[in-house]
Amino acid sequence: MIKLLKSLWGRFLFRDRGIVPTKKLVLLFTLLSLILLLGTRWVLPWSFVILANIAILLFSLFDLFFTPKKQQITVKRSISNEMERGITYKVAIDIVNSSIYDTRLRIIDGLPQSFDRPFPLTGMIKKESGSKISYETKAPTRGLYSVEKIYIRYRSMAGLWEKQISFSIKNSVKVIPDMTETKQFLENAQKFLNYDGVMVRKHKSGVGEFAKIRSYVVGDDPRKINWRQTAKLQEVMTNEYEPEHGKYITVLIDCGRMMGAELKHGNRLEKSIEAALTVTAAALQKGDYVAVLAFSKKVKVFIPPAKGLVHLQTILHAIYNLEVEAAESNYGEVLHYLQLVQKKRSLILLFSDIQTFLYEENALVYLKRLRQRHMFLMIGVEDEALLSRGKMEPENVQQAMIKSMAQQQIMVKKREKIKWEKQGLLMVEAREEKLATAAVSYYIDMINRGLL
């Protein structure tokens, strides 16, 4: 009995095939039934009332003959195969009605529950014609999703009944990280950094690879004047240098428990992945080799070093579905693994939670070894709650205690950072909206200064 009720209730939902009454039929049937019931108080017998209700119900069923058949309706979905997290995309559904009846319909697309779902969609399809119904959606969570079913309900000519049908149209949607900052950098690196008050640093005079000889302009270093070309062309010419290309950059992404801390937009892991992709694009654009390693308790993903912007797609497709794990990160194991796979001198950029990392004494041993060959930079997101509590004006004893504890935590963190930085391990914290900018800025600074 319970299964039967569930099956009947399913018919009233947008599921596969079925026929359901409309509000118009329910209202009409209720009014006529009330009139007949009132008539039984005077002259109408109960047998007439029952037969009349059955006759009205059967007569309404004739309305179903004036509706399109399932074979006369075709549906096609147009959806992007790749969607960036949190970015709005348009989805179009093309419907063709080859029957001789106009029909009004409602549509529900089978998007995953995490997507924005502005359903049901409504529309009118004329006979022997087609129409396009579009809607906008966005995905807040990265991953690979399957979109299959499209559920449609369309009304009969008199609007007494609705037929519901479904179409199986399989689409695979890959939700990747938000690439807005990466695109901004690739379009205009200086504008991207200026927006946050950072200038691209100039490299040391005469340091780096020789690029070209050009005309001398006001402001150039006189020491770089090429006297031979100046004498030959009777015009002051100067040498132009650029930082050496072909350096190795290794990006480490922490996926441990603390990276699941929620921020204003997403969590620490989301911001770290977006910042890692931006600094990766910057390095690949400048001709450097980039390797990426994601880890938590164990190494999850490792992409060997390669150069060229094509490698950015390889990295993106390898890390787009990284998730936070409910386990503490094992820094010792990942740094030991890094020693084995990265033999060439490189700049190691670690995106992680600095406060957690400071208390990993085992990691310090491996980092001292790595520091002998590699440059190390750790980047994390500022704890805005801790900073705000450390600056607040206390109004009672409880708030005074909270402020003192926050200030104590800030002082402990500063003291531990100084201890690590004395070992040559640079640590930087930035606000979540400036994490990518800080990472790119420090990368450019280290490359231009010739530290590698």
Query: Which one-letter DSSP state was computed for residue 197?
Result: T
pLDDT of residue 202: 46
pLDDT of residue 350: 92
DSSP string, 393-412: ---SHHHHHHHHHHHHHHHH
Q: How many CB atoms lie within 10 A of CB 366?
A: 19
Phi, psi for residue 144 in degrees, rounded to 5 = -105, 125
pLDDT of residue 277: 94
DSSP string, 255-319: -SGGGG-B-SSSBHHHHHHHHHHHHHHHHHHTT-EEEEEEESSSEEEEEEEE-STHHHHHHHHHH
Cα–Cα distance measured from residue 290 to residue 433, given in angstroms and rounded to the nearest whole number: 24
10-residue mean pLDDT series, the chain (452 residues): 58 67 83 77 73 78 82 91 92 91 89 90 88 92 91 85 88 92 81 53 52 78 86 86 75 91 87 93 90 92 92 93 89 85 88 83 75 86 83 85 86 82 82 89 81 73
pLDDT of residue 280: 94
Query: Which one-letter DSSP state was computed for residue 333?
Result: H
Cα–Cα distance measured from residue 128 to residue 101, given in angstroms and rounded to the nearest whole number: 8
pLDDT of residue 406: 85
Please name each of the domains of the chain with its CATH number. Answer: 1-176 (2.60.40.10), 204-242 (no CATH), 248-448 (3.40.50.410)
Cα–Cα distance measured from residue 445 to residue 437, given in angstroms and rounded to the nearest whole number: 12
Q: How far apart are the first and last CA of the chain?
A: 75
Kindly tell me the sign of the dihedral angle through the C-alpha atoms of 396, 402, 405, 410: negative
pLDDT of residue 9: 57
Question: Quick check: helix, strand or coil at residue 11?
Answer: helix
pLDDT of residue 2: 61
pLDDT of residue 281: 92
What's the whole-model pTM score? 0.77
Cα–Cα distance measured from residue 63 to residue 157, given in angstroms and rounded to the nearest whole number: 7
Are 95 and 127 in contact, with CB atoms under 8 Å apart? no
Question: Quick check: helix, strand or coil at residue 227?
Answer: helix
Are 243 and 205 in contact, with CB atoms under 8 Å apart? no
Name the pairing type of β-strands 89-97 and 129-137.
antiparallel
> In this structure, what token pair is assigned to residue 275?
């910042």
- Compute CA distances 433 → 194, 271, 362, 384, 430, whole Å: 14, 8, 31, 12, 8
Nearest one of 282, 280, 281, 302 to 293, comparing CA atoms: 302
pLDDT of residue 195: 43
pLDDT of residue 30: 82
Question: Quick check: helix, strand or coil at residue 332?
Answer: helix
Are 117 and 151 in contact, with CB atoms under 8 Å apart? no
